[in-house]
Amino acid sequence: MAEVLPVRIVKDVATLKAVADPIRLTVLERAMAEPARLWTAKEFAAEVGIPPTKIYYHLNLLEQHGLLQVRETRLVNGILEKRYGTGQLDLTFHCRAGGTGTEDGSGVGELATKLLQQTRDEIATGLATGHVSATPDAPETERMLLSRAVAELPASRLAEFRQELLALVRRFEQASEPGAPRFALLVALHPSVAGHTPPEPTA
């Protein structure tokens, strides 16, 4: 079995594109949330709501890029069954827009769009079905926190906020308990160019 990485740094476009799919994103989220668990294809298919026959393409692609690992194999009614586990505990992406080679930023926009769409769809479905509430007096297991803030920050403070946000995400993931209500957290810290011209970079 390959080593499970604490953090996998994704730099190449092919791996970015492998991640940038709602089904594969959900599979990775589930696997990384329970890193000790072994999953079958049927269990992953049930989690994402598709027939088992259609999950194998996604699992094979994630396995090819090391994002999922085959931890065990066994014969079940004469058929070889694979049992999967995560290849990492966390993912981070290092790509430069406008760069060259494998760090040219290709796929980053697609991944961001997929993450935002997935979050939007989950919130919309939750609101429509009554499983999500935006009211402050709603039960904790139903209440949604949605906030956006814009601030002008000196470069000296940005690293501090990034580290605090990453620490919060890791605390959130480590607090996961199987069987408890499931929540999703999406964090983005990015330059805001809406209505603002960013300063020219200095040499």
Helix (H, G, I), strand (E, B) or coil at 178: coil
For residue range 16-46, what is the model confidence (pLDDT) as tens digits?
A: 888 888 899 999 999 998 899 999 999 999 9
For residue range 133-191, what is the model confidence (pLDDT) as tens digits?
A: 989 899 999 999 988 899 999 988 999 998 899 889 888 888 888 888 989 898 888 88
60: left (phi over 0), alpha (psi -120 to 50) or beta: alpha
pLDDT at position 193:
78
Type of residue numbered 202: T
For the cut 80, the answer to whether the pLDDT of residue 105 exceeds it is: no
pLDDT interval class at 100 (50, 70, 90): very low
Q: How far is CA 57 from CA 35, 41, 51, 88, 128, in A?
A: 22, 10, 12, 20, 31
pLDDT interval class at 57 (50, 70, 90): very high
Name the pTM for this structure: 0.69
Cβ burial of 11 (10 Å; 0-12, 13-18, 19+) is: middle
> Helix count (H) and strand count (E) of the chain?
6, 4
For the cut 80, the answer to whether the pLDDT of residue 101 exceeds it is: no
184: left (phi over 0), alpha (psi -120 to 50) or beta: beta
Type of residue numbered 163: Q
**The CATH number of the domain covering residues in 8-91:** 1.10.10.10
Tokens 């000196």: give the residue.
154
CATH 1.10.10.10-classified regions of the chain: 8-91
